[in-house]
Amino acid sequence: MTVPVRLFGHRLTLPALIGLIIILVNVAAAVGAPVIAPFDQADIVGDAYADPDPQHVLGLDNLGRDLFSRLVYGARMSIGLALIITCLSFGLGVTAGFAAAVLRGWADVLLSRLVDLLLSMPTLIFAFVVLSVLGTALPVLVVTIAVLDAPKVFRLSRALAMNIGALEYVEVARLRGEGLWWVIRHEILPNAAAPLLAEFGLRFSFAFLFIAALSFLGIGVQPPAADWGSMVRDYRDMINLDAMAPLYPAGAIAILTIGVSFVVDWMLAIHARGQGEGA
């Protein structure tokens, strides 16, 4: 079912529209956290485990902090970190993947073997070891997850560049004397943009969930900063008191992931339809 709303020149399906609304609401909460949240994320504003009231719409947590404020600030931390990590991993993966596909020879072999080495390592265990040794500062967390995620982007971008590079118009550009980076910028990248954009959404979801998992294990975002994974960890014992506190961040994680998946599925369907029409 499609709706009369267009994005990138294509009609949105109903799930894609729902996913887009979910993403926009979360992004608005992340950007406007200081305005939307009535209290700072670390402020103790009342008694621990206080029930919801007009001033504290979701109640207070185990330390007396406003749950709604921490949920909003958690959106800023979780979404912001995931976006930075995804951009960094894409910068590394796409650059290396396109270079390997265009240069070929020893460059392709060297980069591909390095990627195989990184992919052979269990992601969570490797991240746990690196963060345990180097510490859990945010720059270390960002670089670690980005490096672990970049090989997946590399494999896709290399495959796309190899397929596009074998087409006639790319060969014509090379015979015309165009340079390596001209071919990448003007021929390969525009034609690989759609699947790469869909992959960006998938990698964002991976980074978002991975940050939440590390924070839940205690090696991700550290207090007093709020992120949704650490909030689930901090509030997990409150469920024994019939409190809803751990369900709010857990639900936020699930809803945003589903919303991104809806939009990514729509983009992949458009790409597949375009390939079918081109064939």
Secondary structure of the chain in the HEC alphabet? CEEEEEECCEEEEHHHHHHHHHHHHHHHHHHCHHHHCCCCCCCECCCCCCCCCCCCCCCECCCCEEHHHHHHHHHHHHHHHHHHHHHHHHHHHHHHHHHHHHHCHHHHHHHHHHHHHHHCCCHHHHHHHHHHHHCCCHHHHHHHHHHHHHHHHHHHHHHHHHHHHCCHHHHHHHHCCCCHHHHHHHHHHHHHHHHHHHHHHHHHHHHHHHHHHHHHHCCCCCCCCCCHHHHHHHHHHHHHHCCCCCHHHHHHHHHHHHHHHHHHHHHHHHHHHHHHHHC
Q: Return the ∠ at Cα 156 (arms to 104 and 182), rounded to 5°.
A: 55
Of 98 and 242, the one with more pLDDT: 98
Write down the pLDDT at residue 244.
83
CA 113 from centre of chain:
25
Give me the domains of the chain, ranges plus CATH numbers. Answer: 76-250+266-278 (1.10.3720.10)
Give pTM, 2 decimals.
Answer: 0.87
Cα 138 from Cα 76, distance rounded (Å) = 14
- Distance between CA atoms of residues 17 and 262, nearest Å: 8
Mean pLDDT over 195-215 rounds to 89
The residues, ordered by sequence, that sit 6+ positions from 77 with a Cβ below 8 Å of its Cβ are 221, 225, 226, 227
Tracing tokens 């375009």 back to the chain, one arrives at: 274
Q: Nearest to residue 70, comparing CAs of 230, 242, 244, 266? A: 230
Please name the residues in contact with 143: beta carbons below 8 A apart, sequence gap of 6 or more: 88
Tell me whether residue 9 is exposed, middle or buried, using C-beta atoms within 10 angstroms of its C-beta: 0 to 12, 13 to 18, 19 or more: exposed
Q: pLDDT band for position 165 (50/70/90)?
A: confident
- Is pLDDT at 49 greater than 90 in this prediction? no
Give the model confidence (pLDDT) of 116-151 as tens digits. Answer: 988 888 888 888 888 888 888 889 999 999 999 999
154 pLDDT tier (thresholds 50, 70, 90): very high
